[in-house]
Structure 1
Amino acid sequence: MELVKNYVKKAMPSLSSDQMDTLMAKLEELGVLSVDDLSLVDPEDIKDTLPFIQCKRFVRAVKALEADSQAPPQFTRPGPSSTPEPQRLQLPSTPPETADSPSQDTYSVPWHKFPSKVMDDLREKKYIMGKDRREMVRIVAEDYLHKHPGRPGRQKLRELASMIVGQYPASFKLTEPFGNEPFAKDGSETVFRQLEHRIENMKRPQSSLRRRAGGENSTKKRPRNSDLYGCVAWDPIIEGTVCREDLLSKRDDLKRAFQTRDLQESSVRKLMTETYPIQREILNDADTPIGVVKDEWPFLFEVPHLFDHASKLLGFSVQNKLAQELSKKEKGINDFLDSKGMKMGEGPIQLICGIAKYFKEDSYKLFDKKEISADPEVELPVTPCILVRGDQQFRIALDGLLVNDHITSPIVALSYVFSMFYVCNIQYPPEMAFTLEFMQRVFFGINPERGSKAEKKGKKRHFIPPQVCKLVSQLKEFECKQKESEWAI
C-alpha cells in the first residue's frame, strides 16, 4: 500500500496526517490494493473520511494524474486492445482462453446421453439431486473434452453451466436455507464448480506425470478432505506449454525483488499469478513449516498477494465478499445479539466476538490482545489469529510466527485470517469451529455439498452443525418481523 499512499499524497498534498491515515484505512477497507484500483473509487465511497467537496477533488485529482501518466502497464500483453484491465489483477484467473473461448466455437449439451429418469425429472421441473447431478456433470465434462481436447477455461465452464441451468431452471434453482448470494440465484454457480472440479480430476493424472518428469521423486501424500474443502483450484495443473524451471526462476526473481523492492507492483502480481501452481505445491506439502513457506514466497503474505491467491483458490474475492455481506447483515446480527443480552459494541471484530459468545466459544482462539513478549514462539498462537493492537492496528500470527504486522483495517484483518485457513490447509480449531463455519456460510458463501473444515469431534458428523442452522433460523425469524429477510445463505 506504500505506492498507493504516495500516489494519494501526490493527488492531495494538503491533507493532514490524520486525514491521510483515515483515508488510507478507508481505501484499504474498500479493497484498494494498487494504484490502478484508485480509478474505481467514487466520492460516495469515501464521504465518511473527508468533506464531500474534498472527496470530489480527490477523485478528480486521481483521474488527472492517471491521464498525465499513461505509461503501458507491465502486466499487459500484446493484443487487440491496449486498455488495461485492473480486474485481472484483483481476481487472478486461469490463462487466457483460445480455441475453447465461447466466441470461437459452439457446443450443444448432450441431453440425449442423460439417463431417462434425469430427463423425466427435468421435464417435470423436479429438483435434480446430488447423484443424478454428478452423473450429468460427468457426461457433459467427458463429452466436451472429447470434442474439444485441451483444458477449458473458467469462462467456458461458466457458459456450459448457464446453458444447462437455462434450459431447465426450475430443476437447479437453490431453495435450501444455505444457498448464499450471489451463488444461489439460479444454481448455475454450483453446476460450474462441479464441472470445474470434475475436469480438474480428469486432468490431474497428466499433472502428476509432469511433476515426476520435472525431477520430484517423493511420494505425494493424499490430501485430507478438509484441505480440499471449498476450494476450486487446490492442486492446479502446470500447463504443458509452461516450463517448470521457468516458474522456479520466477520464484527466485520474486525473492530477490522482496529484498530490493525494485520491481513494480503490477509486475509482482503478474509473476505471483503465473507461479500459482508451484505456490500450491509447497503449501499443500504438510511437512513444510510455515516459516519455510514464508522464506520461499515472502510476497505471498503481503495483503494484495494473499488475497489474489485466495481469490484463485476459492473462486471469489474474500475481502470484497466480506465487505458486501457485512454491509447487508452486520446491523441485523447486532440487533439480534442485543435482543439476547449480548451487546458487544460496534465493528466487525466485535460482531464476530458476539457470534462466538452466542455459540459459547472462545474468541481468544481468533483474537488475541496480549502484548508480544521477547519470546514470540511462546506467546503467539499456532492457528491463524489476529493480534489486536487498537482500532486500526492488526497483526496476523500463524504457527507461532508473525506473518503480517501492518494491517490497518478490521475487514482486511478478518479477510486475511479467514483466507489463511484455506490457503495453508488448516482446520478450524474446535474452540471456534461454529463461529468460523457461520462466517464461512453466511459471509463468504462457501457451501460445499459434503465435508467440513472443522476438526472432527465425536463419531457423528453433521453436514451443517445444528447450532449454526439454529442461529440462522433465529436470525431469519428476527428479521422477518421487521422486513423481508436477507438471510438466504
Structure 2
Amino acid sequence: MMEKEFLVKCNESQKIISVKATDDLVSVIKNTFVIKEADVILQNYDKEWDDWIDVSDFDKIPNRTVLRCISLKPSSDQVSAAPSLSQSTEESAVDSDATEILESDLSTDSEEMLDVPNGYLKGKWPNKFPIDEMKFSQSLKEALKNKVCLMWNQKRELLDVIAKEIQKYTDSPSKIQRHQIALELISKYPHLRETLGSGTDGWQERIKDKMKNIRRNKRNNSTTTGCRRKRFSPPALATMNKKAKRGEVNWSPDIPDEEDDESLNEHLEKMSKEFKKATPNIDVIRQRMKITYAQRRKFINTNPLIFDIKEKYPALFTVSEIGHEFKRLTDTELHKTFMDSLEKAASNILSIAKSSKRASQSSLKYMHTADKKVAALMLLPHLLGNQDHHFIEVFERETTRDYITDKPKSGADPFVAIVGDVDDPKCCYIVAEKVIVLDTPSVITAASTLFGFFFVCNIEYPKSFSETFIFIQKCFMQLCDKSKTPRKVVTFVEKLKM
C-alpha cells in the first residue's frame, strides 16, 4: 500500500508525518499536533506563484511535500510542541522550497549543527521575513527603485540591514531560513534574482558568510578565562610562505618614516569608508592601498585566513588591485606580462599537445577552442603532468555556488571556476577556502589573477598542480628563485623553445 511523507508546519512546531492512502490527511495532522478545533486549512508552497496556496485536492499532493497547517480558530488548549534543544537547527526553520526540502534543505550541515542549537533562538522566527527599506541609504533606495545592478558596497549595506534583522531572532540562521530570506528579497526586488542556479544561491551564500563573520567577531571579542580559545580552523589550505622565495623584491618592507600605526589605521578607516560609497574614488583607494602596503604585508605574512584578509582589506580583492599589489611585491606587471607570454607560447603549446601522450582525450577537446590562448591555457596542466588536478574547473552547465565550492578535489586550495563554455563563459570565479572570493571577466584574466593571488595572499602553490604554476612563474613571468626547477618543467621548456 502506497505511503506518502509530508513535512507539516503548525505554529512553532513542524514534523514529518506518514500517511497511508486510506488515511484522512487532515485527521492525521490534527491528531499529530493535537488540534481540537474542527476547521483547519492546509497550504503548500507554489514555485510559480512564489507563495503558499490552499490545498484543494489532497489526493494530488506530491510525496515529500512541505505543508503548512493553519487553524481557523486557534485554541488555548492547543499544544504547540516547541523544538527541543537537541533537534537540528534545520528542523526549527521555516518556509522554503516545497518539493525539495526533505531531500536537500533538511540535510544537516556539520558547521551549522555546531554553531546553531535551537537554544540560541531569541524569538519566534517570522513567517514573512521583514526587509525594512527605511534603514536603507538614499543611494541604495534609488538603485533598488531604478532596478539597476547593485554595486558591491550597496550589496554590503543591504546585507547589513538584513543581518541586523536576523540578529533579532538568531545569530545562526539555518539553511531553510537563509533560503526564506533570499526568496523574500528577490520577491520584493525581482531584478536581484541571479541568473546562476536557482536565482537565490548567491544571496544565500552572502547571508551565510555575513552571519558567520558576525559570529566570529563575537567569539574574538568575548573574553575567556582559564584556557585559550581554539582558533577557527577551515579546511586545510595550502601552507603559507614564511619568507620570500619566489622572486619577490618587496616581501616585508619597513613602515614609512612619516607613518605610524595610528596614521596607518586612519588611512585604513578612510579607505574603508571610501570603498563603501556608491561610486568610490578609485584613485583615493589606490593611493591609500599603496600607503598601507607595508602594514598589510606584515599582517599577511602572519598567516591569516583569506577570509580575514578580505574582511580587513576588501579593496584588495579586485582584479586590478591584485595586479597593483603584485607589482608592489615583485616589480612585475601581472596581467600584461601573463597575457603577452601566453600569446607568444600558445602556438607551440598547441603543437606539443597534438603529439603529446600526456594529453588525455578529455583535454584534447580544448584544441578546438576558438581562442588559441585559452586553448593553450586549458591544456597546460595536462602537458605538465597535472592531469588529475587542474587549477581551472569547468562547469559546463549552470549550477549552484555551493556545488562550485564543494566540487573540486583540491580541498580548500584556490582555483578558477568557469561556468559555461570556455569560449564564452557566463561566470569566472576565484575560489579559496571553499568560498567564492573574486569575480573576473575572462578565463585568461581569471588565470593571471589566480597566479597573482598566490603571491598577494602569500600562499604556496598546491602540490597537486605546482608544476603548472612553477612554469608560469619562471617562464611566463620570469620570476626566478633559488629553488630547483622540477624535471617536468625543464623538459617542457626545452620542447617549447621559449
Q: TM-score range by the shorter chain?
A: 0.3 to 0.5
Say which structure is richer in helix: 1
Q: Which has the larger radius of gyration?
A: 2
Larger proportion of strand: 2
| Structure with bigger RCO (C-alpha 8 Å, 6+ apart) | 1
TM-score with structure 2 setting the length: 0.45
Q: How does the TM-score come out when normalised to structure 1?
A: 0.46
